[in-house]
Amino acid sequence: MNLPSRYDPRYKVNSAVLTAPKPELERVARNERLPVAAVDEYRSMLAHYEDFHQRRALAKLVKLAKDKSKLPIAAELDAIVDAVRDHPVTLIAGDTGCGKSTQVPQYLLRAGESLLI
């Protein structure tokens, strides 16, 4: 396998719920209970997967927040909100990719109460 050099075996889940021989599978198919060991193994596997999934989702959110704060328009947050508050029509110009269409609406939503005054 092509595993990364910093592979952490804690995140490898090499298991299946129904690992029993064929007669055992037929018994389960007849709506009989799974063996307790199989249920315990599945619960353990699921806990590891949930932990991995949550860590990965959190890492994505942290990266997104960092990327948003690095956009050129982030430095102009207060100036944009003040301009919209003070002028009924405000024109915002900037380079492509600076955050005009993605960040300005969020800034204005966050400042919502103070814009209504």
- Tokens 């396998």 belong to 1
Q: Cα–Cα distance between 116 and 40 in angstroms, integer?
A: 56
Per-residue pLDDT, 88? 79
Per-residue pLDDT, 27? 60
Per-residue pLDDT, 62? 93
CA atoms within 13 A on the CB side of 92: 23
The closest alpha carbon to 114, from 89, 93, 83, belongs to 83
Per-residue pLDDT, 35? 78
pLDDT digits (tens), the chain, 117 positions: 455 566 566 656 555 555 555 665 566 556 667 778 877 877 888 887 888 888 889 999 999 999 999 999 999 999 999 998 899 799 999 999 999 999 998 898 888 866 654
